[in-house]
Amino acid sequence: MKKLTLGLAVVVGTILAGGAQSADLSTGDYCPVAGNAKLLTIENNATLTNEVVRLMDEAVAVADSPQWINSGRPAFLWASEAKVACGKAYGYLQSAYRDEDYLNKCECFHSRMVRYMY
């Protein structure tokens, strides 16, 4: 029980301190999550699917890389977010449905990942 209490205290303390690296979309300064992603301009579903898979594959590679996992930089966090968002966008595309929210998030999170890598 002591470990659980300590762990919870660390999480709560980090959140209250504001120092947590999070995929918080509230600032909106870093990418147009509420706007239109470039992905949305791709009219051909096969081409769009290929691009979403490319972004997802890159995010998976970063999320699985010890270089980025251990780097202490937020690239790993954004890669994890991107692989989920792109995966969901891909799943919808398999049903011929373009989920604009997940397409926006896929592109946004991938661009954040790349930004923190370099």
pLDDT given for residue 118 in this prediction: 86
The DSSP call for residue 63 is H
Rounded mean pLDDT, 83-101: 96
Tens digit of each residue's pLDDT (9 = 90 or more) over 46-65: 999 999 999 999 999 999 99
Does residue 110 register a pLDDT over 50? yes
More confident residue, 100 or 16: 100
Q: Determine which helix (DSSP H) or strand (DSSP E) holds 116, and give its type and residue range.
A: helix 100-117
More confident residue, 98 or 25: 98
pTM comes to 0.73
pLDDT given for residue 20 in this prediction: 40
pLDDT given for residue 7 in this prediction: 40
Distance CA(49)–CA(8), nearest Å, equals 40
CA 2 → CA 8, 12, 13, 14, 87, distances in Å?
Answer: 10, 15, 16, 18, 37
Nearest to 85 by CA among 112, 68, 104: 104
8 Å CB contact between 42 and 35? no
Mean per-residue pLDDT of the chain: 80
8 Å CB contact between 68 and 76? yes
